[in-house]
Amino acid sequence: MNKDFIARNPDITCNCNSFWIILKKKNISFTKLGHEECELCEIFENDEHGKENLDPSCEICQKYTIHSKKAEQSRALYKEDANKINPKNEVYYSADLQKVIMLPRMESYKIAIFTQRIIAFNQSFVPVGTNQKNLRPIAAIWHEGIAGRKKEDLIRAFHQFFLNNRDAIKITLWLDNCAAQNKNWTMLSYLVYIINSGMISAQKIFIKYFGPGHTFMSADSFHNQVELQMKYKKNIYDFPDFKEAVGAANSSKTRVIDMNIHQFYDWLDLTSINRIKKLKPRPYISDFTTLMVKQGSKAIFYTENYDYENIKTLEFLKIKSEKEPISLPGARNQPRGINPEKKSAILKKLCFLMSTDRQIFCQEIPENTLSRDLNTSID
């Protein structure tokens, strides 16, 4: 970049170190976007038509036109939220589940790569933009011995996030379109519960979804920082090591919530599908671009094209849930546990590479013969 700058500005003398210092002063940072690509954009790239020659009669061009418009709209709205300066009693976050993390993590040992290990989870909530200076990232972490990554498990992480922002009057969350994690009726049922629970002060909660395939957000930057901290530590032997790496991200200004089994609930889907089927036209959650719940109402309010002037109302709960207060489900009292064969393999093949104090995590992780491999299941 410095060479390119000098080539474009031959009259300016600027060495690489000075160039870097100026970038830092302007608060410009860099991060890896990862390996995610937009499938629809890739299909369009291979189509005979180009962006300058869209054919209205071509199905691929039609889909691409709608897709690109939603991507542009969501990105513009995200930037708008990011640029808000110290909004009073309002918070703006993005949230995402970090990609699979395996423990113990010892990349210099080939035997660790070929051994089934314990999956750790990091559901991160990260402030959008740089103007919310009083906010810091919140990372809810757990491992598969405690719970999995079903929607009920992830909702509990959202519950912790809302409790940590209980004084905010308006809460906005930016999410991707993952149905298993962020876009499902159980999540909507939970949002109606929390806004009316009395546990938080929020009068409105907004959930905004990025256009599919174009979801880069502040949570991704934070996950990159966590990854860098793990590389800095070189080896992540146990869950406390992982917790330390997460806490060190964002200049050690991260609030880490170590989730225990009693913080997980079996949240229920309170949706009346028959009630939704009777609506003409029938709303499909996959089409929603924005959701909103507000205090005192058990309906959800949504848009399908980021058009906030024509927001729609959806009464989706079962009649009983609509008439009666929604109660908090009971907490779990049994950890998920891992398969004994997986635990045995870790103890036999990897523990001898660790110090005695690091072996305790693997030795004490609960077992369950019914636990399935999370690499092939969302359970």
Query: Is pLDDT at 134 greater than 60 in this prediction?
Result: yes
Under DSSP, is residue 141 helix (H, G, I), strand (E, B) or coil? strand
Does residue 169 sit within a domain?
A: yes
Query: Is pLDDT at 187 greater than 80 in this prediction?
Result: yes
Question: Span 85-97, mean pLDDT?
Answer: 89
Mean pLDDT of the chain: 88
Does residue 73 sit within a domain?
A: no
**Between 17 and 269, whose confidence is greater?**
269
379 neighbors 154 (Cβ within 8 angstroms): no
Say how far apart CA 212 and CA 63 lie, in whole Å: 12
Query: Is pLDDT at 35 greater than 50 in this prediction?
Result: no
Does residue 22 sit within a domain?
A: no
Query: Is pLDDT at 379 greater than 60 in this prediction?
Result: no
230 neighbors 105 (Cβ within 8 angstroms): yes
190 neighbors 160 (Cβ within 8 angstroms): no
Say how far apart CA 317 and CA 309 lie, in whole Å: 24
Under DSSP, is residue 209 helix (H, G, I), strand (E, B) or coil? strand
Query: Is pLDDT at 26 greater than 90 in this prediction?
Result: no
Does residue 132 sit within a domain?
A: yes
Does residue 207 sit within a domain?
A: yes
**Between 51 and 366, whose confidence is greater?**
366
Say how far apart CA 191 and CA 283 lie, in whole Å: 18
- Beta carbons within 10 angstroms of residue 213's beta carbon: 17
Token pair for residue 103? Answer: 């423990």
- Please report the pLDDT score of residue 306 as a whole number: 87
Give me the domain span that covers residue 110. 79-269+327-364
Question: Considering only 29-38, 131-140, 298-307, which range has the smallest mean pLDDT?
Answer: 29-38
Does residue 357 sit within a domain?
A: yes
Q: How many domains does the chain fold into? A: 1
Question: Span 189-196, mean pLDDT?
Answer: 97
Under DSSP, is residue 283 helix (H, G, I), strand (E, B) or coil? coil
Does residue 33 sit within a domain?
A: no
Question: Span 292-311, mean pLDDT?
Answer: 93
Say how far apart CA 202 and CA 151 lie, in whole Å: 23
Does residue 369 sit within a domain?
A: no
- Please report the pLDDT score of residue 248 as a whole number: 96
- Please report the pLDDT score of residue 33 as a whole number: 46
The tens digit of pLDDT for each residue in 315-352 reads 999 999 999 999 989 888 899 999 999 999 999 999 99
